[in-house]
Amino acid sequence: MSNFFVFIFFSLIIFGGSILLQIFLSKQKSKWLGLVLPAIHLIFAFIGSFGLMIYDGQILPILIVFFILSIPVVILLLIHFAIRGKMNGSHKDELDKMNIQDL
């Protein structure tokens, strides 16, 4: 039973670390850096789900596994777009303030 708790502990650390890394990458100037982790997760989702085609030719289990493995991709993309949206909004506010001061 202790192996299960160790697995859960390390899984939470890895998941939390990937979220923190995603937040850090999304705050960078280049918008492409924030898309690196979702792309990596999407590649693993493709490999994990379509690797089943070797063993089983049925399509429904392959699609189910693909959608389950794509959940982290969706979460990371939501984080990326939320942070980029806040950054674009703050830059717009700064530009508005500068334009008002120029008048």
From CA 92, how far away is CA 98, in angstroms rounded? 10
Residue 20 has pLDDT above 70, yes or no: yes
**Stated pTM of the model:** 0.75
Rounded mean pLDDT of 7-32? 89
Round to whole Å and give the CA distance between 53 and 33.
32
What was the pLDDT predicted at 35? Answer: 92
| pLDDT over 80 at 6, yes or no | yes
- What's the residue count for the chain? 103
pLDDT for position 80 = 93
The pLDDT of residue 79: 93
Q: 42-81 pLDDT, tens per residue?
A: 999 988 887 767 776 778 888 888 899 899 999 999 999 9
Report which secondary-structure segment, H or E, holds 27: none
As a whole number of angstroms, the distance between CA 97 and CA 92 comes to 9
What pLDDT is stored for residue 21 in this prediction? 92
